[in-house]
């Protein structure tokens, strides 16, 4: 029997935000006028996105950075959103630009992401940053994958030689987290909806990353005893009392006594995303100001 330990992403994220806030304050003192700025653009009024954007703004200000919120109506035309992105690209007070996804159907998200200055692309979704990550150059790295790898390194130390299985191949989570694990010298397998014998693949993993978007799809007996499990999934499911609750992509109760370490949902990977967004904004601001 294995004692399964929790990875407390909420506490780690709070510590990371505090370290970022301290660095922002120190750099502001050493370089008068230095104040990182993050612009967040929300099109439409998706309730989940609104909560997320509000939290981002609050935590940005708490870290001593400037927050610029742009809320546009759901029927915004693509050319008007592109014009806003170009204005933010040109604004020296804005060091990071984030366009909240998903975008309404009349707007081509790839076109909007491509219009963001790669130096200000704090979500790391621009092809320039994806490409730089792939070839091993300095890049702005997508926030959720960055958060996953920070938690792993904090708990495991070196990841070199470990076998990592990533379930999911999206541009937002699966592919970039696989790239980061490769950079840490893991042996990486990327699994997806066409993978044969997914349970068998998962059972090889020292590190299992679940980024699927299917509630509790990964069962306890898919987990290698002692493995570290990072559950990126955020799924809202009905409760018996008619309300809803959040669950991950991993059957959390079944993983107890099998996994060595596991992130809970909520309170695992989720809080790391905004903390890493702030980290990216600080990185972008330093580069734009020529501070190493
Ligand atoms: P996508 O829907 O873009 O990608 C899901 C991936 O899972 C796809 O690659 C898909 O494969 C794969 N998949 C789907 N069904 C299966 C299956 N039955 N077996 C194996 N693989 C399967 O999702 P995202 O990557 O954007 O997000 C994944 C999850 O992470 C979601 O729950 C999302 O809410 C959550 N999330 C959490 C964040 C946070 O913590 N802050 C941030 C971003 C996402 P294929 O490519 O073959 O279709």
Atom number of ligand 1 nearest to Cα 217: 18
Residue 18 counted as domain residue? no
| Residue 146 sits in the same domain as residue 262 | yes
Residue 276 counted as domain residue? no
- d(C-alpha 204, C-alpha 211), whole Å: 17
Q: Which residue from 74, 143, 75, 86 is spatially nearest to 111, judged by alpha carbons?
A: 86
Report residue 177's pLDDT band, with 50, 70 and 90 as the boundaries: very high
Q: Residue 265's pLDDT is what?
A: 98
Atom number of ligand 1 nearest to Cα 167: 21
Looking at the DSSP bridge assignments, the partners of residue 245 are 237
Tell me whether residue 35 is one of the annotated catalytic residues: no
| Residue 149 sits in the same domain as residue 231 | yes
Q: Quote ipTM for the complex.
A: 0.99
| Residue 109 sits in the same domain as residue 146 | no
The domain that holds 157 is classified in CATH as: 3.40.50.720
| Residue 207 sits in the same domain as residue 152 | yes
Domain count, the chain: 2
- d(C-alpha 128, C-alpha 147), whole Å: 21
| Residue 146 sits in the same domain as residue 57 | no
- Write out pLDDT tens, residues 239-252: 999 999 999 999 99
Residue 6 counted as domain residue? no
Q: Which of 146, 174, 278 to mutate to test the pocket of ligand 1 (most atoms within 8 A of CB)?
A: 174
How many A from CA of 250 to the centre of ligand 1? 12
Its domain, for residue 200, covers: 142-270
Tell me whether residue 56 is one of the annotated catalytic residues: yes
Tell me whether residue 100 is one of the annotated catalytic residues: yes
How many A from CA of 87 to the centre of ligand 1? 32
Asked if residue 49 lies in contact with residue 18, where contact means CB atoms within 8 angstroms, the answer is no
| Residue 218 sits in the same domain as residue 99 | no
Catalytic residue among 117, 121, 123, 206: 123
The domain that holds 89 is classified in CATH as: 3.40.50.10860
Report residue 237's pLDDT band, with 50, 70 and 90 as the boundaries: very high
| Residue 182 sits in the same domain as residue 263 | yes
Maximum CA extent, the chain: 59
How many A from CA of 190 to the centre of ligand 1? 12
3-state helix, strand, coil in the chain (%, to 5): 45, 15, 40
| Residue 217 sits in the same domain as residue 177 | yes
Helix axes 270-289, 143-156, angle to 10 degrees: 110
Three-class SS state of 283: helix
133 lines ligand 1 (CB under 6 A): no
Single pTM value for the model? 0.97
How many A from CA of 161 to the centre of ligand 1? 25
Q: Which residue from 147, 149, 128 is spatially nearest to 138, judged by alpha carbons?
A: 128
- Write out pLDDT tens, residues 118-143: 999 999 999 999 999 999 999 999 99
Query: Residues 9-22: what's their mean pLDDT?
Result: 98
Atom number of ligand 1 nearest to Cα 248: 32
């Amino acid at each position: 029997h294995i004692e399964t330990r929790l990875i407390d992403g909420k506490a780690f994220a709070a510590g990371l935000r505090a370290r970022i806030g301290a660095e922002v304050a120190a750099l502001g003192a050493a370089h008068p006028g230095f104040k990182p700025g993050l612009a967040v653009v929300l099109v439409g009024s998706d309730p989940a996105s609104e909560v997320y954007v509000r939290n981002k703004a609050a935590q940005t200000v708490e870290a001593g950075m400037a927050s610029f919120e742009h809320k546009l109506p759901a029927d915004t035309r693509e050319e008007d959103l592109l014009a806003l992105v170009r204005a933010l690209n040109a604004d020296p007070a804005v060091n990071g630009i984030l366009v909240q996804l998903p975008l309404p159907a009349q707007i081509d998200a790839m076109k909007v992401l491509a219009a963001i200055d790669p130096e200000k692309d704090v979500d790391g979704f621009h092809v320039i940053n994806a490409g730089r990550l792939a070839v091993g150059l300095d890049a702005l790295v997508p926030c959720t994958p960055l958060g996953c790898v920070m938690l792993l390194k904090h708990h495991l130390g070196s990841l070199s030689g470990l076998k990592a299985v990533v379930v999911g191949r999206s541009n937002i989570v699966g592919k970039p987290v696989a790239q980061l694990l490769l950079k840490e010298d893991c042996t990486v397998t990327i699994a997806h909806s066409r993978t044969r014998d997914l349970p068998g693949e998962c059972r090889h993993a020292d590190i299992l990353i679940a980024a699927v978007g299917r509630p509790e799809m990964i069962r306890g007996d898919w987990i290698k005893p002692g493995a570290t499990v990072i559950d990126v999934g955020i799924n809202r499911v009905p409760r018996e009392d008619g309300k809803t609750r959040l669950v991950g992509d991993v059957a959390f109760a079944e993983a107890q006594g099998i996994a060595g370490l596991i992130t809970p949902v909520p309170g695992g990977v989720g809080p790391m995303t905004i903390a890493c967004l702030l980290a990216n904004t600080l990185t972008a601001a330093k580069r734009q100001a020529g501070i190493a």
